[in-house]
C-alpha cells in the first residue's frame, strides 16, 4: 500500500493511487500541515485521517474538473479539425497539419483527424509520415479496417510493397471487401519480390 510522506515523521496511507497534478497535491498537503499545526494534532492516526480526507477531496474536485475540461477539449478538437480542413482546402497544408496535430492532442481518440492528417501528408508526398499517423490511429482502434487499407495505399506509394501487403492482409482479416481483394492483387502484380 503506497504512503504519502508529508513531513519527516508524518505519513498518510492512500488506498488508491491516482496521479494528480503536482501543484494541487502540494497545495493540499500544505493545507493539511496548516490544519495539523492549528489544531496541534500530534496523534498519528488523526493526521492520517486528515491527510486521506484532504487527498480524497482534492481527487474528487480534480476528477470533476477533468470531466468538464474533457468535454471542452472535445469541442475545441472539433473546431481545430474544421479549421484544419479549411486550411487544407485553401492550399495551406502546413497550417492544416498544425491544426490537426492540435486536434489530436486535445482528443487522441479522434480517428478521422488521423485520417485527414495522413491525407495532408500524402498531399505533400510524405507517405512515410502518413503511414506513421495511421499506425497511431490503428493502435487506438485496431478493428477499423479502413485504416489498414489506407496504410497499405500510402506504403505502396512510398515504394514499400512488403509493408503494403502486410497492411492490406490486416484489412482483409478484419473485413473481406472486394476493394481490399483487388488492392491485394494490384500490390502483388506490382511487387517484384
Instruction: Report the pLDDT value the prediction gives residue 81, as an integer from 0 to 100.
Output: 94
Instruction: Report the pLDDT value the prediction gives residue 158, as an integer from 0 to 100.
Output: 93
* CATH code of the domain made up of 125-193: 1.25.40.10
DSSP at 89? H
User: Residue 5 pairs with which residues in a beta bridge?
Assistant: 11
Q: Give the closest residue to 149 by CA, choosing from 184, 125, 193.
A: 184
- What would the DSSP string read from start to end of 41-74? ---HHHHHHHHHHHHHHHHHHHHHHHHHHHHHHH
Q: How far is CA 141 from CA 102, 144, 185, in A?
A: 20, 6, 26
Instruction: Report the pLDDT value the prediction gives residue 75, as an integer from 0 to 100.
Output: 85
145-158 and 161-174 are packed helices; what angle lies between their axes, rounded to 10 degrees? 170
| 66's grid cell | 477533468
pTM score, whole prediction: 0.62
- pLDDT by residue for the chain (193 residues), tens only, comes to 344 444 433 444 333 333 444 444 555 555 655 655 555 555 555 556 666 666 666 666 656 655 555 666 788 888 999 999 999 999 999 999 999 999 999 888 899 999 999 999 999 999 999 999 999 999 998 888 899 999 999 999 999 989 999 998 888 888 888 887 888 888 878 766 5
Amino acid at each position: 500500500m503506497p504512503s504519502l510522506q508529508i513531513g519527516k515523521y508524518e505519513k498518510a496511507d492512500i488506498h488508491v493511487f491516482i496521479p494528480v497534478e503536482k501543484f494541487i497535491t502540494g497545495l493540499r498537503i500544505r493545507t493539511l500541515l496548516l490544519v495539523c499545526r492549528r489544531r496541534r494534532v500530534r496523534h498519528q492516526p488523526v493526521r492520517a485521517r486528515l491527510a486521506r480526507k484532504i487527498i480524497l477531496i482534492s481527487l474528487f474536485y480534480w476528477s470533476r474538473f477533468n470531466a468538464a475540461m474533457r468535454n471542452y477539449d472535445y469541442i475545441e478538437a472539433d473546431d481545430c479539425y474544421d479549421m484544419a480542413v479549411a486550411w487544407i482546402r485553401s492550399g495551406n497544408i502546413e497550417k492544416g497539419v498544425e491544426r490537426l496535430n492540435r486536434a489530436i492532442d486535445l482528443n487522441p481518440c479522434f480517428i478521422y483527424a488521423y485520417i485527414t492528417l495522413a491525407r495532408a501528408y500524402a498531399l505533400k508526398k510524405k507517405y512515410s509520415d502518413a503511414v506513421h499517423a495511421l499506425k497511431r490511429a490503428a493502435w487506438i482502434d485496431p478493428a477499423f479496417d479502413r485504416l489498414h487499407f489506407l496504410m497499405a495505399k500510402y506504403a505502396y506509394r512510398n515504394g514499400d510493397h512488403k509493408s503494403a501487403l502486410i497492411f492490406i492482409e490486416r484489412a482483409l482479416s478484419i473485413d473481406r471487401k472486394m476493394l481490399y481483394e483487388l488492392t491485394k492483387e494490384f500490390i502483388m502484380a506490382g511487387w517484384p519480390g
